[in-house]
Amino acid sequence: MVDVVRSAVLGFLAGLVWFVVLSYSEGARVDSLTAGDTLRVIPVILISIAVSAVAIWAISRLRTAFGIGTAVGLIVLALIGLIVGDLAMAFANPILLPFPSLFSRGASAISVWIAVVASLIFASPTKRRNPDVQRAEEQPRLSHQYP
């Protein structure tokens, strides 16, 4: 039980990091398109692709709780982005004003929602079951006996 909770918490933290990277890359993409300098965004997009690949790899290799925790982390920050975006526009919350674009851009970014769906798909038990492993588990185990 402790391992499942630990995996879920680590997944949640991974979701937070993944959200920040995807949100920052979305902001950099929009800013570069606005400024007309599209070459400036290439390193940021490469970093976000690398982080996404590592996250998907970790979700597919680790416990199901890790993937669900990652999806929950992404969804929580996206919901914070929806709430904070409205508050920042009204200047009702001066504490979060340095970060409103990070949260609101992440909430509106399609890459964040694709990451949520991908983390849930790769965390599902049906995708995690490898047929070769299943076949190997069904075969009787041989003891190491010497003649």
The structural domains of the chain, with segments of one domain joined by +, span 2-138
91-139 pLDDT, tens digit each: 544 554 455 566 667 677 777 778 888 887 877 766 555 544 555 555 5
Dihedral sign of CA atoms 116, 95, 44, 59 in order: negative
Distance separating alpha carbons of residues 116 and 11, to the nearest angstrom? 12
Higher pLDDT, 103 or 143: 103
Q: Which pair of tokens denotes residue 2?
A: 């402790």
Close Cβ partners of 50 (under 8 Å, ≥ 6 residues apart): none
Higher pLDDT, 130 or 26: 26
